[in-house]
A and B are shown apart, each in its own frame.
Chain A
Amino acid sequence: MSLVGKSIPKIDGMAIATGKPVYTEDMAPPNALVVKLLRSPHAFARIKSIDTSKAESIENVECIFTHKDVPKCRFTLAGQSYPEPSPYDRLILDEIVRYAGDEVAIIAAADEETAEKAMKLIKVDYEVFEPVLDFEKAIDHPSIIHQETDLHCNFDIGMQQERNIVSCQKVEVGNVEEELKKCHTVVEETCYIQAQAHAMMETYRAFSYLDHTGRLVVVSSTQIPFHVRRQLSRALNIPASKIRVIKPRIGGGFGGKQTGAVEIFTALVTQTTGKPAKIIYDRKETFSVTNSRHAMRLKVRLGADKEGYIRAMDIQGLSDTGAYGEHASTTFMVVGQKTLPLYNKTRAVRFMGNVVYTNKMPAGAFRGYGATQGTFALETAVNKLAERLNMDPTEVRLKNLIKEGETSLVSGGIKLGSSTLHKCIARGRELIGWNDKYPRREVGDNKVRALGMAVTMQGSGIANIDTASAEIRLNDDGNFTLLIGSTDMGTGSDTILSQMAAEVLETSVEKIIVHAADTDISPYDPGSYASSTTYVTGMAVVKAAEDLKKQIIESGARILEVSADEVELDGQKITTINEGKTISIEKIAELQVLGFGGNRQLVGNATHGSSISPPPFIAGFAEVEVDKETGKVKLIDYVAVVDCGTVINPNLATIQAEGGLVQGIGLAMYEDVRYDKVGRMTTNSFMQYKIPTRKDIGNIRVTFEESFEPSGPFGAKSIGEVVINTPAPAIIEAVYNAVGVRLTDLPITPEKVFLAMQQI
């Protein structure tokens, strides 16, 4: 292979690094109306009356919408394939507001100042209800958050509206209680994982206009153009054929932009007025009125026999989806999916619990999508188990983890296709210096250093649901155009997909033009989420390129008047094996587009979905230094050894890993979405919500232990999400080894460590 495995620079790298106008805001028409939203100050209320007359009378106010003016068809903003598992529980504007920040009115004006002035003149009278703010008290709370009778679920997700339950789930194989009784050692741990903000640097934004045929065009910083098109069609009640959604370069997503936060507002304005409109959320709105990671409480029980084999695993959970149910049932399901298969010497496993509504900002998709929460709880419990068993935590894992070719209780008989996780652990031990440094060393000055570790798995795409199409054409000049619908959000997926196409066609990346993420032009793709792009879209690209390659060979052979098996393609020309006659690809292209012999332009096509979601794995190792006097934790070193299958582009994979690890470090140590007593978010700026700066992270080292995934493109799996999962459990364990406190509610702030230390 000549291109796969090479660190090819990103095809858009120079443009985005040097400030070129390639992002949403840069492209908005200068005359676009500015859209602003009036929001509820109350966490739970009914709008008794709303008066916009004064606001409307201001010059340059274009239009104002309230709940009386919008279509009454409920929808979900979750970016998921149809039929979405998320409940249709939203209106564009509703008479009931369900969290502080929920939209009350949409204002469009010629400029921002006018829009803001108008907003202040809207009079709203609310009937305020008692909000549900504590998710542990949501079930059967006297306040019922969704009482509407037109709430719709596409299929049964265990919704019990009157009890504030969005989804109720249970998976059990074997009898967990019975097996636990038989176990020699049983540990239990209850973990709290907080809501985390995506905090992508480009805030949410979109603009829209009507094109020359009167169709609605929406340009948005989104991960899900095709899903946005479907959402707009339903919410605005216009045919999908009248809508086009385009994603330009985008400034980060991390799952946040897998929820359609803003498009609906400009689309409504443009559709009604015929005028271009734009919306740009400020940082405060991005923090407080979009979405975050689901906060969860997860109780884990693990039972092991005398030899240290884990025989029973039980996870019982509660998840907080906030005011609306985007990604509610699926993030919760993934908690079980990405934990139960990991340790496969079990005889019984169970995952069960509820997802509840509360009067807080809705949760949504966030890198890791439940696996992060599940990994934290499970791995914290496994570390505790190792201690009880008097075993080294790496040993417990080597003994119990699933291996290539094996099944688990929940794998339905399907064998694991690829894994080097055992090697990852061995390599990680070496790199962090486990033998010398585990568990702890006093380093003087009241400081102690210690190690901790954790492992994790994720998936690669959603099995049997994610399906991507790809198309690749041979152009008249002998170059290629690759059409895909996946959404590069800086990860470099456009680049690695062109690497794959170039590899198959034995050409160079420079000869491939990539066009992506435009619903009018791109073949269907659900978008970039669920670690799907390399694995699912990648395979579609490989198949499409193979299809085209075959056509080029056949065409060349026909022109040279031999059969297809008598020629060879070397990326530039077709040569007959016997006589050495040649024809260049340029010439073939030219003859094909000219209709030579009644021919047509050559186009390769493929659609690909996978019946499995092969897990990438990571072994993560943390070294921390804890100040015994203050409880301050400093991360000294983090080693992550990654099995993502074949590494398609080492540099880009490394940055994905490093970036995800740092977000995981943020989750472990700093980040926390918090509310005040009446349900207003208090962490709505970078002052109160701290993401890691470059001073906060210590040294981070990433290395790969490649495996070969038979079902993936060139053996690749995925890397986007798995990288965020290990820091929290590894760091928590390192702190335990340092000072003897195992904190199970994230993040571990110095105060929490200090207070816990006082109690031992």
Chain B
Amino acid sequence: MQIEIILNGKKVAMNVKNDEYLADTLRAHGVSSVRKGCDTTCCGLCTIWIEEKPVLSCAALSIRANGKSITTMEGLYNEAEEFAQVLVAEGSEQCGFCSPGFIMTVLAMKRELNNPTEEDIVHYLTGNLCRCTGYMGQLRAIKKYLGVMQHEPCR
């Protein structure tokens, strides 16, 4: 069926199957930041925003997105780049495969939570798996980015 979504601010019409999920639809549409890491909605790699809210695109039926506004990293580029710079300066992206989903969740958290504590951050991001970094560096980067006070990492 034909749907029309607002993808990163632009109206786009696409043909989708009834049982197709947004992760596949968007990738087929050339959106490279959307990635899949699992078949069981466990990894968070595919996180995008629907109507400004973070959503697992591997579990969101494309037909249900009809008429909605969809944001991927490509649409938040400046902001994503700003955070990515902090992440990269910290050396906290390793393979980078989890980064887009992770960053989309961080940016959603920034909008949603005011002055989050370390616990709030960890809780908000629990659904975003990363197999490379061990998470600590990501946390350091988030705290730097949000300007939260932190104790010196042990060096």
B137 touches A658 (CB 8 A): yes
B95 touches A16 (CB 8 A): yes
Contact of A18 among B33, B91, B94, B132 (CB under 8 A): B33
Q: Say how far A433's CB is from chain B's closest CB, in angstroms.
A: 13
Question: Whole-angstrom distance from the CB of B36 to the nearest CB of chain A?
Answer: 8
Instruction: Give the CA-CA distance A615 to B85 in the complex, in Å.
Output: 34
List the one stretch of B4-12, B38-46, B63-71, B107-115 in contact with chain A: B38-46
Q: Which residues of A contact B90 (CB under 8 A)?
A: 651
Whose C-beta in chain B lies nearest to the C-beta of A251?
Answer: B97
- Which residues of chain B from 65 to 112 have a CB within 8 Å of any chain A CB? 72-74, 77, 80-81, 84-85, 87-100, 103
Query: Which residue of chain A is the closest to B123 with respect to CB atoms?
Result: A695
A703–B154 touching, CB < 8 Å? yes
Q: Is A760 an interface residue (CB 8 A)?
A: no
B122 at the interface (CB under 8 A from A): yes
A701 touches B154 (CB 8 A): yes
A372 to chain B, nearest CB (A): 16
* A612 proximal to B (CB < 8 A): no
Residue of B with least CB distance to A285 = B39
Contact present for A201 and B97 (CB under 8 Å): yes
Give, as a whole number of angstroms, the nearest-CB distance from B31 to chain A: 8
Mark contacts of A14-25 with chain B using CB atoms, 8 A cut-off: 1 yes-contact digit, 0 otherwise.
111111110100
CB neighbours (8 Å) of A26 from chain B are: 32
Tell me the nearest residue of chain B to A657, going by C-beta: B134
Interface residues in A677-695 by Cβ distance below 8 A to B read 685-687, 691, 693-695
In residues 113-142 of chain A, which contact B (Cβ within 8 Å)? none
Give the contact-size bracket for chain B: 35 or more
Q: List, in ascending order, chain B residues with CB within 8 A of A662's CB.
A: 134-135
Q: Contacts A18-B80, A200-B95, A655-B134 hold; do A695 and B129 have CB atoms under 8 A apart?
A: no
- The B contact surface, by secondary structure, is loop
A199 and B91 in contact (CB under 8 A), knowing A19-B74, A685-B42? no
Q: Does A482 contact B (CB under 8 A)?
A: no
User: Considering residues B92, B93, B127, B153, which has the most beta carbons from chain A within 10 angstroms of its beta carbon?
Assistant: B93
**A17 and B32 in contact, given A283-B39, A654-B137, A701-B154 (Cβ under 8 angstroms):** no
Given contacts A655-B134, A658-B133, A686-B129, contact A249 B92 (CB under 8 A): no
Partner of A201, one of B81, B129, B136, B153: B129
Given A658-B133, A658-B136: A10 touches B93 (CB 8 Å cut-off): yes
CA A201 to CA B155, docked complex, whole Å: 28
Residues of chain B within 8 A of A201, CB atoms compared: 35, 37, 43, 45, 95, 97-98, 129-132
State the interface size on chain A (CB cutoff 8 A).
61
- Assuming the A-B contacts A249-B96, A703-B155, are A687 and B32 also in contact, with contact meaning beta carbons closer than 8 angstroms in the complex? no
Kindly provide the distance from the CB of A684 to the nearest chain B CB, expressed in whole angstroms. 9
A199 to B96, CA, bound (A): 15
Determine the distance from Cα of A693 to Cα of B134 in the docked complex, in whole angstroms.
9
Known: A9-B89, A19-B33. A693 touches B126 (CB 8 A): yes
**Does B139 have its Cβ within 8 Å of any Cβ on chain A?**
yes
Contact of B94 with A659 in the complex, beta carbons under 8 Å: yes
Q: Is the CB of B154 within 8 A of A702?
A: yes
- A226: CB under 8 A from chain B? no
Residue of B nearest to A113 (CB): B17
Going nearest first, the 4 A-B pairs with the smallest beta carbon separation are A19-B33, A16-B96, A490-B95, A251-B97
Which B residues contact A (CB, under 8 angstroms)? 32-35, 37-40, 42-43, 45, 72-74, 77, 80-81, 84-85, 87-100, 103, 122-123, 125-139, 153-155
Extra contacts besides A489-B95, A662-B135, A695-B126 (16): CB < 8 Å: A16-B97, A19-B33, A19-B34, A20-B33, A202-B37, A249-B96, A252-B94, A252-B131, A283-B38, A283-B39, A655-B92, A659-B131, A686-B38, A686-B40, A694-B125, A704-B155
**Interface set of A (CB-CB < 8 Å, partner B):** 7, 9-10, 12-21, 23, 26, 198-203, 249-252, 254, 282-284, 431, 489-492, 639, 649-652, 654-656, 658-663, 685-687, 691, 693-695, 697, 700-704
